[in-house]
Structure 1
Amino acid sequence: MTDDIYFAPLLPWQHGLWSQLTMRVLAQKQSLPHALLAAGMQGMGKRAFVWRLVAWLLCRARDEHPLGACGHCESCQWLRSGTHPSLQALPLISLPISADNAHTQEVASGTAKDKKTTKAASNGSLKIKVDEIRALQPFIYQGGQGMRICVLDHAEQMTIAAANALLKTLEEPQAQVHLFLISDAPAQLLPTIKSRVQQLSLQTIDPAIAVDYVTKVLGSTVHREALGTDVIEQLIQLANGAPLAAVALAQAPWYSKRALWLTTWQALRSGKRSSVAASDYWQIHLGIAEFIRLSELMVIDIRRVGLGFEAQQKDINFSTTLNGYQPIDNELEAFAHSLQQTKIALQQNVQEKFAYDKLMQELACL
């Protein structure tokens, strides 16, 4: 269901923060801050937390349901239909009614089913413009209408003019109005914006809780004998500690092809396989975007091993592949840069076959 994000179970590492915030509201001694920021890497569940909190704050029966919105009152029904009069969101595609569920929205770049939404998020067309911020002001300043909530997803995508327009709202808090900013790249937010919002502490996740969560989620889709602690810990490490991203990584079609990537590289380097043949083969098995993600991960560990560090992917034998041969780091850096340029080119409708052929030619020369 598209509305699951409002009523999904709380993620295990978010219980403490949830209790802290909801108790403040229920005690009626201290209301929530006017503006809150949920920021950090993808895969922590920050969007799931924010939308769940939004549903609970608007719920007519929240006093009797401290663990989450009731799902049955008039407010919850409005949320289910995507027509809540007290909720506004930017950009429009960020509304949960257009998302698959809490988890796919959080790691949309890797797992979303809505490819148009994913492409929009990746090519920067989610820019939040000044006119859109100004259009929110009648909603914010209407007064006397009970609690009203604005959610700005991908807040780092605000233009400078939009951010400056938002500052006025942040500097002049309105009673019963709450703003939630969500950002995967908070470093890109203006300092003046960050200084006027209170950040939610969503980034601290106990490693044991993360391991337990990833193990349970993957247990229904992966053979349990393959779910050793080492496998789970590696997934979490590669996902920079973000449990949802670790699950998405394990389920990504390209993740199981890491050893094959090394074999292809060896065959290209030795001349046993032509770049054209390799390109034709991989085009059948992976989309170019997935191949780029795979290549980025492999290049990171090749560079680590070349610099004398241990590979993060301990289930792949990099030492044997690199035995007697070590590509120049500058060449690896150039290939990594080419991967980034290819992403940009694909957003400009460059044909996938052309991009694949070019990358295979470059990989053969490493």
Structure 2
Amino acid sequence: MYKAASVNDNSDSIYFAPLLPWQQTLWTQLTARVLTPPQSLPHALLAAGMQGMGKRAFVWRLVAWLLCREREQHPLGACENCDSCQWLKSGTHPSLQVLPSVSMPISKASSHSQEALKSTNKKIKADTKSSKAADKSALTTKVDDIRALQPFIYQGGQGMRICVLDHAEQMTIAAANALLKTLEEPQSQVHLFLISDTPAKLLPTIKSRVQQLPLQSIDAGVARDYVTHMLGGTVNREAVSPSQIEQLLQLANGAPLAAIDLAGAPWYSKRALWLTTWQALRSGKRSSIAASDYWQSQLSIGEFIQLTEQMLLDIRRINLGLSSSQQDIDLTAALQNHQPSDSLLESLVDSLQQIKMALQQNVQEKFAYDRLMQQLAQL
């Protein structure tokens, strides 16, 4: 199965990963502002947009370069060898603070960071490579977290200091208000990076005080070439055509890294099989229990939910008279004799959300699978 490039890995390698092709112009602009007197890098920057655009890869790479002791001699990225780069690799950099702690790249982290990882890993539920959902408590930044940053921010005379606030949309209201003071009173050589997958959830007062990085615009040709190159011409050991690359990008809303992860997702190659199972359930040719037992051996319940959500999106498209996003399976033909009503589709979507919540309460996957198959049979 295809494994995504290191830019998606939560490890120290992300500090030194190759620059993504669609980010080269922005990189050149920002680094020139730092290297050309007077240095004019904004005090607070926001990297926002959908997952799979490479915003975290850009931020971590820029953080490493800004802290690098040899950056003037290495304008294309951190040197990897100076004291600063070594501190990043060990997870002990004194001039970097990250909230929440689970966002810190930690493949070689300090023992303190490793302990933090162990405690938060219990709260993290991974669905697929492309979408790792964590319990909100692990990703929420609270007011006490922001207050704890104040000595670091206001200590003065310690050279450049950087704070990275990942999942910024999950700050509590109190935390966001506490952050406003820092944003309103910029400190010399202190830079804040906010990262958000859903910037619409950020307080307007926060967004008005940060400068957003233009990371969301990606040329379609550049994205297509990158995905083709990274997949090496194959998906699950089968040759991938230009039309399949286009489909991956369409399903990923144009996000190249998400398209690459999608190609390697365990459920992606089982879409036609899902369609066959649904038709067999609906016609009574297969029992929901038998279908449940079979799929439990194929995918985790989280992966099957993602598969089902994707199939329902296209069923809804066809119901609206639109073409299917998945041209490699004949979904339109399967719906010629039976199109589920909007009410049944909505009911199933609601059930998927309920099952996700139930799984967080440690409901057994078998029960969730059994319930889902029963509903599919009624769709």
2:288 maps to which residue? 275
Mean alpha-carbon deviation: is it higher for 17-26 or for 213-222?
Answer: 213-222
Q: 2:103 aligns with which of 77, 94, 100?
A: 94
1:139 equivalent to 2:148? Answer no
| CA deviation map 1:20-65 (0-9, x unaligned) | 0000001123421000000000001100000000000000000000
Task: Judge conservation of contact 2:43–2:192 (CA < 8 Å) in 1.
Answer: yes
Task: Judge conservation of contact 1:123–1:347 (CA < 8 Å) in 2.
Answer: no
Task: Judge conservation of contact 2:91–2:108 (CA < 8 Å) in 1.
Answer: no
Q: Structure 1's 5 and 91: CA in aligned 2 closer, same or farther, altered over 3 A?
A: same
Distance apart, 1:202 and its partner CA:
0.3
1:105 maps to which residue? none
Q: Structure 1's 188 and 217: CA in aligned 2 closer, same or farther, altered over 3 A?
A: same
1:258 equivalent to 2:276? Answer no
1:83 equivalent to 2:98? Answer no
Q: 2:253 aligns with which of 221, 227, 240?
A: 240
d(CA) in 2 for partners of 1:36, 1:134: 20
1:295 equivalent to 2:308? Answer yes
Q: Structure 1's 241 and 340: CA in aligned 2 closer, same or farther, altered over 3 A?
A: same
> Map of 1:49-128 to 2, 5 A cutoff?
49-98=58-107, 110-111=128-129, 118=132, 121-128=134-141
Q: Over the residues paired in the alignment, what is the CA RMSD in angstroms?
A: 1.8
Task: Judge conservation of contact 2:236–2:264 (CA < 8 Å) in 1.
Answer: no
Distance apart, 1:355 and its partner CA:
0.6
Q: 1:27 aligns with which of 30, 36, 39?
A: 36
1:218 partner letter? L
| CA deviation map 1:256-285 (0-9, x unaligned) | 000000000000000000001000100010
> Map of 1:318-357 to 2, 5 A cutoff?
318-357=331-370
2:324 maps to which residue? 311
2:176 maps to which residue? 163
TM-score computed with the length of structure 1 as normaliser? 0.93
Task: Judge conservation of contact 2:90–2:108 (CA < 8 Å) in 1.
Answer: no
List gaps (5 residues or longer) in structure 1: 101-107
Task: Judge conservation of contact 1:124–1:157 (CA < 8 Å) in 2.
Answer: no
d(CA) in 1 for partners of 2:235, 2:45: 37
2:281 partner letter? L
d(CA) in 1 for partners of 2:70, 2:229: 32
Distance apart, 1:365 and its partner CA:
0.2
d(CA) in 2 for partners of 1:293, 1:213: 25
Q: 1:7 aligns with which of 12, 16, 21?
A: 16
Kindly, what percent of the aligned residue pairs are identical?
Answer: 73
2:35 partner letter? L
3-state SS of paired residue (2:191): strand
Q: Structure 1's 75 and 251: CA in aligned 2 closer, same or farther, altered over 3 A?
A: same
d(CA) in 2 for partners of 1:96, 1:284: 33
Distance apart, 1:142 and its partner CA:
0.3
> Map of 1:38-49 to 2, 5 A cutoff?
38-49=47-58
